[in-house]
Structure 1
Amino acid sequence: MTTSQALISAHNISLSHHSKLVLDNVSFELKAGEFITLIGPNGAGKSSLIKVLLGLIKADSGDIKRSGDIRLGYTPQTFSPNPFIPISVIGFLNLNQKVAQNFLHETALLTGIESLLDSPLKSLSGGELQRVLLARALLNKPNVLILDEPAQNLDVNGQMHLYKLIQDIHQQQGCAVLMVSHDLHRVMKESTLVLCLYRHICCM
């Protein structure tokens, strides 16, 4: 696979919600090996665009194309474990998917959660939970990693460690990354391209 091959292409994507325009004629491509950071104010349509790219919601118009060999890994903007469902971290990682256990443990080591595998998911701190979500996303061996504000609600130290981990994964595994972030100063160096979104692509 060459670095010029587009893994995801968005063409003229528009979306409205309750008669309010959320996305207006958005177009861009994510190519193999790229690291694209998506920025913009709250309510700019960033999470909506991510959900359209993933096929979680349908755009009113426009077209999404994905390469035939795409393997997606995704971490959502928000995730709250159900406190009434007793599940361990390792149970969550295995949930609804078949994973070779040696690969699971390698991924746990990579993301720094190996000591948490037997812990209840509901007992984790914000930073620990983000690492678990990242580990689960990596279990699909993705060539595209989509991260929706992965450092949200972390303190400065937690943000720095998580962004460093994401950068290491990008460099070591060569997957393309599309990340929503408000911390451009922390991820600018790694970014191949920065997209500023406010309903439409304002700048690149």
Structure 2
Amino acid sequence: MTERLVTLNDVSVQFDGPPVVDRINLTVNRGDVVTIIGPNGAGKTTLIKAVLGIQAIATGDIWLKPGARIGYVPQHLILQPTLPLSVRRFLMLTGEPEAACRAALAQTGVEHLFDASVHHLSGGEKQRVLIARALARSPDLLVLDEPAQGVDINGQAALYDLIRDLRDRLHCGVIMISHDLHLVMAATDRVICLNQHVCCSGYPADISTDPAFIKTFGQKVAESLAVYHHHHNHQHNLHGDVVNSDDGTPPHEDCNHHGVH
């Protein structure tokens, strides 16, 4: 039976002027991967801050499953470079025990970084540590704001593989914001196109033909996504290299991210 985690009913957020997000309706169930896309200034981050309860809403209501735990991966992590901070200390600032922090790092494939300096991590490593920090709480709902920001294209693919794998293993719900349209289409179950209001929503394979999507992103983007039916018969390792999903070996040389798989 489907377990509902969060529902937004006619949610609007308004500062000075017109609504930043306007009358949003959205439900995320356990096991869903829902991705919010849209141009800059569309209200994507504002919307998930409302879900997290850190942004007041002007109208509507947000229902969260009683007792549900939320793990949040922010868009930016700003740390003072002169402040010594290990991954161990950074994770334990959550208040979770060391064992839970180690286990979360193992789930994201970077347990070996437990005693490393946060300041010396690569972009991909930093994102995995941030995801581990969110996982330490054993979340029912994982919320990620641009989880692959600052990571190269191969590392992005590996991170999206990781997010789907975490959903499968932990059976949590996932809401994420992304600008990486080609890659995210392979990693999500449902797409919400936001531009203050919901322009369109649906399955990744269908969204690129929606007139509202074409109006928002342009014909070229829509056409490129239409031929990008990435069936994802492989995965990516920690370094973003493509491997077969069954045995971890390199795939056939024709397998890449530029066409139909």
> What is the TM-score of this pair, normalised by structure 2?
0.73
Q: Distance in 2 between matches of 1:96 and 1:168?
A: 23
Which stretches in structure 2 are left out of the alignment for 5+ residues?
Answer: 202-261
1-side partners of 2:78 and 2:124: how far apart?
13
Specify every segment of 5 or more residues in structure 1 that has no aligned partner in the other structure, as ranges: none
- Aligned-pair identity (%): 43
Q: Runs of 4+ in structure 1 displaced over 4 angstroms?
A: none
Q: Which residue of 2 aligns with 1:19?
A: 17
Amino acid at match of 2:99: N
The structure with the larger Rg is: 2
Deviates more, 1:168-177 or 1:101-110: 101-110
Please give the alpha-carbon distance, in whole angstroms, between the structure 1 residues aligned to 2:150 and 2:117. Answer: 20
Q: Which structure is higher in RCO with an 8 Å CA cutoff and minimum separation 6?
A: 1
Which residue does 1:42 correspond to in 2? 40
1:49-72 deviation per Cα after TM superposition (whole angstroms, max 9, x unaligned): 010100111011111110113111
Partners of 2:96 and 2:137 within 8 A in 1: no
Q: Match of 2:156?
A: 159
CA offsets, 1:114-139, max 9 Å, x none?
22111121222221111110000000
Q: Which residue of 2 aligns with 1:183?
A: 180
Q: C-alpha distance in 2, partners of 1:32/1:6?
A: 6
Note if contact 1:82-1:122 (Cα within 8 Å) is conserved in structure 2.
Answer: no
- Distance (Å, rounded) in 1 between the aligned partners of 2:88 and 2:174: 25
Cα deviation for residue 20 of structure 1 reads 4.2
> Separation in 1 of the partners of 2:163 and 2:188?
11
> Equivalent residue of 2:198, what SS?
strand
Match of 1:30 among 23, 28, 31: 28
Q: Among 81, 105, 109, which residue is 2:106 paired with?
A: 109
Matched, 1:62 2:60: yes
Q: Following superposition of structure 1 onto structure 2, how do residues 137-148 of structure 1 map, counting pairs within 5 Å?
A: 137-148=134-145
> Are 1:174 and 2:174 matched, yes or no?
no
Contact 2:160 2:187 in 1 (8 A): no
Task: Give the TM-score taking structure 1 as reference length.
Answer: 0.93
Equivalent pair of 1:88/1:117 in contact (CA under 8 Å) = yes
Structure 2 CA distance for aligned equivalents of residues 124 and 18 of structure 1: 39
Q: How many residue pairs end up in the alignment?
A: 201
Mapped contact 2:96–2:136 kept (Cα < 8 A): no
Quick one: which amino acid aligns to residue 108 of structure 1?
Answer: L
Counterpart of 2:194? 197
- Output the amino acid matched with 2:79: P
Deviating more after overlay: 140-149 vs 114-123: 114-123
Cα RMSD after superposing both structures: 1.4
Q: Do the aligned partners of 1:73 and 1:138 also contact (CA within 8 Å) in 2?
A: yes
Query: Where do residues 114-133 of structure 1 align in structure 2 (5 Å cutoff)?
Result: 114-133=111-130
Q: 1:135 aligns with which of 122, 127, 132?
A: 132
Is contact 1:146–1:177 with CA below 8 Å preserved after alignment? yes
